[in-house]
Structure 1
Amino acid sequence: MIPNQPIGASELIITDKGCIYHLDVHPDEIAPTIITVGDPGRVATVSKYFDRIETKKAHREFVTHTGYIGNKRLSVVSTGIGPDNIDITLNELDALVNIDFNTRLAKEEHTSLEIVRMGTSGALQADIPVDTLVVSTFGIGLDNLLHYYNYEENAEVSFIRNAFVQHTALENAAIKPYMAEASIHLVNKFPAREGYVHGITVTCPGFYAPQGRQLRLAPAFPNLIDALSGFTSGQHRITNFEMETSAIYGLGKLLGHQCLSISTIVANRQNKTFSNDGAASVENLIKTSLELLVQ
C-alpha cells in the first residue's frame, strides 16, 4: 500500500455527483456483499430475487443493482469481460468503501467486502458435464494484470504455480502465470454435498486462441487444452477456464477482500459438448448460489 496522502484528481476520478468514475456509483449505493456478473443483462436476472431494490445504476458495461434479501444487503455489479475490466471494477469497489471521497485519503478503518463472481465457464475434465456448478478454489492467470502490482504468493500457491509452469512450459513462450486463492470462508458456503465441484480455474486473456479455439487463425499452443486438463498437484486439478477469476482473487487479496468465483459449465472442451439451455444453466447457478450465500 502507498503512504496515506490525498489521491490526485487524475488518479481517483469522482464525478460531480460524487460517484466513482466507471461504475458511476456513490459510496452509499454499494453493499458489503457484492455479486459480479460479466453480462450487464444478467444483473436483473440476479436482482429479481431481491426482496427489494433500492438502487439501480448503469454506465457503459457497468450496471449496479443494490437491495436486500431479508435483512442481508447485497449489490450485483456487471463487470464486462476480461481481467482488464476486473482491474477497473475491483479497484473502484474498494475505493467506494476504503477511501474518503471528501478528503481523498484512505480510511483508517479498512472494510473487507465479500465479492462473489457468478458466471459461465468451460470444463476441462471429461467427468465434469455441462450444467455442473464449479467453485474455484484457486485461480491461475495467463494474463498479465497482477504483474503490474506488487503481488506475492504464499508457499502453497507458489508450489502449485511452479508445478503448473513446469507442466505446461508456457513460460517458454513468455507467458508468466500467476496464481491466487479463494476465500476459504466463502468456499465453505458451497460444499460438494450441495452439488458443487471444487477445483483450480484458469483465467485466459481471450476467448479464441487463448482458450485453444481455432477459426481462421491457428493457435500458437495447439495442445493447450490437453496441457491444462492434464495438470494435477496433490489433491488439486484444473477443472475449468474462463476470463476473470484469477484477477478477482489476486486483486481481492491485495485489497483485503474475501473473494469467490462460481461458474456454471456451459461447454465441455474435452467432450466437445455444449449446454442445451445456457439460460436455464445460469438461472440454476444464480438461484442455488444465492440461497447458500445469504444463509
Structure 2
Amino acid sequence: MAQNFFAPSELIINDDGSVFHLHLKPKDLADKIILVGDPGRVALVASHFDNVECEVSNREFRTITGTYRKKRITIQSTGIGCDNVDIVLNEMDALANIDFETRKEKEELRQLTFVRIGTCGGLQENTPIGTYVASQKSIGFDGLLNFYAGRNEACDLDFEQQFKSHVNWNPQLGNPYVVDADNELLEKIAEDDMVRGATIACGGFFGPQGRRLRVPLADPQLNEKIESFSYKGLKITNFEMESSAVSGLSKLMGHKALTCCMVIANRLEKEMNPSYKNTIDGLITKVLERI
C-alpha cells in the first residue's frame, strides 16, 4: 500500500480495539479463513471444530475462530454481495497488516488464505444440482475492482475483451473484470472431484442473473450468450454473487483466495433445490480437510 498511516476516518477502530464492522480484534484472526454468505452457516462449519476460542457477531457479520484437526481457522459470514466482501476483506487485511496502536502498515506483511464456501446456479450440462464447482476464474459484473489501483495488472484483460465482444456487452453496465484464483490453492482444494470453470459474480439475484419477474430484462438473450462463451476451452459454469471480489481484492492485497460452490439450481434445466442446506455439509467437510 502506498499510504503508511491510516487516519481514524479511513480505518475505524471501535473503543474496545476491534475493527468497525466485524468487531474483531487482531488476535481473533486466523491465517486460514472460510467465508460464507449466510450467518447461520458459520455455526454449521464450526460444528466440525475441535474447539472454539472466540465468537463475535455484528449485523450480518458473524465470526467464529477455532481449531479443526490442529488447524486454526476463522469462519466469517459476509452476507450477500460483493459490496459486503469489500468490507470483510479490507477489515481482515487491516487486522492482519496494520498496527492498530500506531495506525501504520506493519513492516512484515501477513498472507491470509480465503476460501469461500457458497451456493450457485449452474449454467452447463456438467453442472447439475449437487455439483461442486471451484472457480478457476471469476468474472465480476459488480464493478468493485474498477475502483482500485492495480486492477488491470490483477486481471485477465484478454478474457475480458473476448467476453465483451462475444456477448455484445452494454457499456452502461460498467466494465466486467476477470481474476484468476490462486493456482496452488485451486489444486489443493479442488483436487479431482470438483468441476473447474469460470464463475460470474452478479450484482443482484434477479435481473443481473437473467431472472425476469415483473420488470423486463434489458438483454433477454444475455444468459444464452454467456452459456455459449468459451475461452481457451474454459466455459462459464455458474452464477453467484461474491467470488470476483474475493479473488480480486485478495490478489491486490497479496493474499490467496478461491471460491467453491455447490450448485443448487440449474438454469438450463430450470431446476432448483430449495432444501440445499441439508446437503452442503459435504462441501464444508472437503474444504475443512483440504484448506
Match of 2:225 in 1: 227
- The 1:155/1:46 distance shift into structure 2, 3 A limit, reads closer
Structure 1 consecutive aligned stretches of length 4 or more whose deviation exceeds 4 Å: none
The alpha-carbon deviation at position 143 of structure 1 amounts to 1.0
Match of 1:2 in 2: 2
Match of 2:275 in 1: 277
What is the alpha-carbon distance in structure 2 between the residues aligned to residue 123 and residue 86 of structure 1? 22
What is the alpha-carbon distance in structure 2 between the residues aligned to residue 174 and residue 243 of structure 1? 16
Say which SS state the counterpart of residue 90 (structure 1) adopts.
Answer: helix
Residue deviations 1:124-154, cap 9 Å, x none?
1123110100000011101121111113345
Say if 2:154 and 2:251, in contact at 8 Å, map to a contact too. no
Amino acid of the residue matched to residue 140 of structure 1?
Answer: I
- The 1:147/1:270 distance shift into structure 2, 3 A limit, reads same
The alpha-carbon deviation at position 7 of structure 1 amounts to 1.0
Match of 1:245 in 2: 243
Say if 2:97 and 2:110, in contact at 8 Å, map to a contact too. yes
Aligned pairs, how many?
291
The alpha-carbon deviation at position 171 of structure 1 amounts to 3.6
Amino acid of the residue matched to residue 2 of structure 1?
Answer: A
What is the alpha-carbon distance in structure 1 between the residues aligned to residue 225 and residue 206 of structure 2? 16
Say if 2:117 and 2:260, in contact at 8 Å, map to a contact too. yes
- The 1:239/1:156 distance shift into structure 2, 3 A limit, reads same
Gaps in structure 1 of 5+ consecutive residues: none
What is the alpha-carbon distance in structure 2 between the residues aligned to residue 155 and residue 31 of structure 1? 25
Say if 1:123 and 1:241, in contact at 8 Å, map to a contact too. yes
The alpha-carbon deviation at position 175 of structure 1 amounts to 2.9
The alpha-carbon deviation at position 172 of structure 1 amounts to 4.0
Q: Calculate percent identity across the aligned residue pairs.
A: 43
Say if 2:6 and 2:103, in contact at 8 Å, map to a contact too. yes
* CA RMSD of superposed structures (Å): 1.4
Match of 1:144 in 2: 143
- The 1:156/1:207 distance shift into structure 2, 3 A limit, reads closer
Superposition pairs for residues 254-273 of structure 1, below 5 Å?
254-273=252-271
What is the alpha-carbon distance in structure 2 between the residues aligned to residue 276 and residue 16 of structure 1? 42
Amino acid of the residue matched to residue 277 of structure 2?
Answer: A
The alpha-carbon deviation at position 100 of structure 1 amounts to 0.1
Say which SS state the counterpart of residue 285 (structure 1) adopts.
Answer: helix
What is the alpha-carbon distance in structure 2 between the residues aligned to residue 28 and residue 192 of structure 1? 32
What is the alpha-carbon distance in structure 2 between the residues aligned to residue 81 and residue 155 of structure 1? 24
Say if 1:153 and 1:179, in contact at 8 Å, map to a contact too. no
Say which SS state the counterpart of residue 268 (structure 2) adopts.
Answer: coil
The alpha-carbon deviation at position 170 of structure 1 amounts to 1.6
Q: TM-score, normalised by structure 2?
A: 0.96
Amino acid of the residue matched to residue 213 of structure 1?
Answer: R
What is the alpha-carbon distance in structure 1 between the residues aligned to residue 155 and residue 91 of structure 2? 29
Say if 1:199 and 1:239, in contact at 8 Å, map to a contact too. yes
Amino acid of the residue matched to residue 287 of structure 2?
Answer: S
The alpha-carbon deviation at position 276 of structure 1 amounts to 6.2
Say which SS state the counterpart of residue 188 (structure 2) adopts.
Answer: coil
Q: TM-score, normalised by structure 1?
A: 0.95
Say if 2:137 and 2:181, in contact at 8 Å, map to a contact too. yes
